[in-house]
Every structure is written in structure tokens, then in C-alpha cells.
Amino acid sequence: MLKDIATPNRTKEILKKYGFTFKKSLGQNFLIDTNILHRIVDHAEITEETGAIEIGPGIGALTEQLAKRAKKVLAFEIDQRLLPILADTLSPYSNAKVIHQDVLKADLKGTLEQEFENIEDLMVVANLPYYVTTPILMKLLEEQIPVRGIVVMLQKEVADRIAAKPGTKEYGSLSIAIQYYTEAETVMIVPKTVFNPQPNVDSAVIRLLRRPKPAVEVQDEAFFFQVVRASFGQRRKTILNNLVNNLPNGKQKKADIEQALSTAEIDPKRRGETLSIQEFGKLSDQLLKSFR
């Protein structure tokens, strides 16, 4: 019977066998608790019909658990030193494949079409390196990768921001960007003690289920996000001040901005973090007339 990779002893053995040292720059923290991995795979609702996409497999701890349940697992690994280790640890699983590539530079759509040709149900499941969490999530969402959803472990503080509701201090442009495309929910908190090496902060697992269509219909998506970012320019300022200061030619168009807020029925003294996605949608459509 094979011992699971994600136990403290087996992890230690594997690292020692290959003389592997952690690279801080790649945010490498390996999970050494099998129960947590089982729960992550449960939350992703992986079945034998699922194609699982993993980013940053490390020494294969999560990959192994995915391979036991999914039809096929495709993992993107950027660190060349891990390739021989993964070839060894994943050798019992013929349905797991590792690609040596930076997922941020990959042609994801093309690769997934090729690798998961007859698989309808695709799910991203990963323990994401902290330093690239947001760019990876935004790439997956903006490129409209055909996945059912994304279940990822990331820094608890980032998870709090992603799942935040309007009116909370965590709520900001990241919450809106992700909730525009998905329904976001934190499904578990992971203590820092279950990693080797131990990170400085706790982690959380967040589940993002893709909406059939975006949370709000807007006339110009790029402009909608521009308005959102402008509204959070300086958190302590009112929405009016932020839009005037952060939209192109905002100062010259102050009267137009006031008019747009009025038409969208938004009090100019409110702060960005109190507006719902729907209110931002209404506002950006009104502003678009002046900023086209």
C-alpha cells in the first residue's frame, strides 16, 4: 500500500532523497495533512467524469488525491527542479500529467481543449503560491476558461477580500472583479501548522462557482472595471471625490459625474465600499455616456 505523499515523514523522505530546497521566490509551502487535502477535493466535487487542473503541484500531494478521484489531472509546474520528483511520486497514476510551464504565460484555452478533449466537467483545484494568486485567478476568469469552478487555497486575508460583502472593510475592487464572474464562498480555514515550511499566516480555501452570466449586465465591461478601480482609489474618500480624481479628465467632467451619480440614484457622499455590484453596473452605464 502506497503511503500518501502529504504526511510529514513521506514529505521529508522525498525532499531528502532529491536534496530539494525551498525557493522563497516561488512561494513554496507543501501541505503535510492528508485530511485537509481530502476536504479540498470534496469541496471541488471531483468525480470520475471530472478533468482537474492544478497549478503549482509541488511534490504532488494534492495531485495524488485528485488523481485518485478524477478522470484526468493536468498540473502546471514552473519549477524545473520538481519535474523529476513529480515523475517519481506520481508514477502510480497514469491519469496525471505535469506540464512544465508558467500558467500565466500558457495558452490555457488551447491546452485544455487538447488535453481534456472528451471531458465536459472541468475544475481548477490548487494550492496557489501566495505571490501570484490574484493574477492567476484573473487570468482564469477573464480568459473565460470553460471550467465549472475554482477551488483554491490561498492566504486567508486574500480569501476574505475575495468573498467580502459590500459595507465591510475587506470589500474592494478584487471582491467585485471575482464576484462579477463567480459566486465566491470561503469553505475552510487552514492553519499554518500543516505546511512545510510553515508560512507566516493562515490560509483559507475558497470556492468560486462560475455564474452562467456575469452578476450584472453592463454596456462596456472594461469601463465598468475602470469605474470600480477608480471608486476605490483612496478608501477614505467619497465616491464623487474618487471618480473626479481617478477617472481620465475626471476634474473637467465633475458635473457629468455628479449627473451620472444622481441618475443612478447614488448619494455622492457614499464611499465605494458601500456600493453593490449592481449599483456599480448602473453607475458605469451612466458614466459611459460622458467618457466614451
Q: Is 54 annotated as a binding residue?
A: no
226 and 129, same structural domain?
Answer: no
Tell whether the model's pLDDT for residue 197 goes beyond 70: yes
Domain that holds residue 251: 221-291
8 Å CB contact between 247 and 230: yes
Q: How far apart are CA 6 and CA 12, in angstroms?
A: 10
Q: Is 217 annotated as a binding residue?
A: no
| Least confident range of 55-64, 107-116, 193-202, 254-263 | 193-202
182 and 234, same structural domain?
Answer: no
CATH number of the domain to which 258 belongs: 1.10.8.100
Q: Is 31 annotated as a binding residue?
A: yes
227 and 206, same structural domain?
Answer: no
pLDDT for residue 3 = 82
**What is the pLDDT confidence band of residue 58, given thresholds at 50, 70 and 90?**
very high
pLDDT for residue 35 = 96
- Last residue in a domain, options 210, 234, 250: 210
Number of folded domains that form the chain: 2
pLDDT for residue 25 = 66
Tell whether the model's pLDDT for residue 130 goes beyond 90: no
| Residue 3, domain member (yes or no) | no
Tell whether the model's pLDDT for residue 22 goes beyond 90: no
The mean pLDDT of the chain is 95
**What is the pLDDT confidence band of residue 27, given thresholds at 50, 70 and 90?**
low
Sign of CA dihedral 73, 78, 83, 86: negative
Cell of 257: 459625474
- Last residue in a domain, options 179, 210, 241: 210
Q: Is 102 annotated as a binding residue?
A: yes
The DSSP symbol for 32 reads -
Q: With the CA atoms of 100, 55, 221 and 175 taken in that order, what torsion angle do they form, in degrees rounded to the nearest 10?
A: -150
Q: Is 29 annotated as a binding residue?
A: yes
260 and 132, same structural domain?
Answer: no
205 and 238, same structural domain?
Answer: no
CATH number of the domain to which 66 belongs: 3.40.50.150
249 and 187, same structural domain?
Answer: no
Question: What is the distance of C-alpha 32 from the center of its chain?
Answer: 22
8 Å CB contact between 106 and 76: yes
238 and 181, same structural domain?
Answer: no
Q: How far apart are CA 57 and CA 191, in angstroms?
A: 19
Tell whether the model's pLDDT for residue 1 goes beyond 80: no
8 Å CB contact between 93 and 67: yes
Tell whether the model's pLDDT for residue 15 goes beyond 70: yes
H helices of 83-219, in order, are: 83-89, 108-115, 133-142, 156-162, 173-181
| Residue 37, domain member (yes or no) | yes
* C-alpha separations of 246 from 58, 175, 187, 224, 226 in Å: 41, 19, 35, 14, 9
How confident is the model over 246-280, as pLDDT tens digits? 999 999 999 999 999 999 999 999 999 999 999 99
The DSSP symbol for 288 reads H
- Last residue in a domain, options 155, 186, 210: 210
Residue with cell 480624481: 245
| Residue 244, domain member (yes or no) | yes
| Residue 2, domain member (yes or no) | no
154 and 100, same structural domain?
Answer: yes
| Residue 1, domain member (yes or no) | no
150 and 17, same structural domain?
Answer: yes
Percent of the chain surpassing pLDDT 70 = 98
| Residue 216, domain member (yes or no) | no
225 and 204, same structural domain?
Answer: no
124 and 97, same structural domain?
Answer: yes
Q: Is 77 annotated as a binding residue?
A: yes
176 and 64, same structural domain?
Answer: yes
Mean pLDDT over residues 238-249, rounded? 97
Mean pLDDT over residues 225-232, rounded? 97
Q: How far apart are CA 267 and CA 261, in angstroms?
A: 7
pLDDT for residue 21 = 85
Tell whether the model's pLDDT for residue 23 goes beyond 80: no
**What is the pLDDT confidence band of residue 125, given thresholds at 50, 70 and 90?**
very high
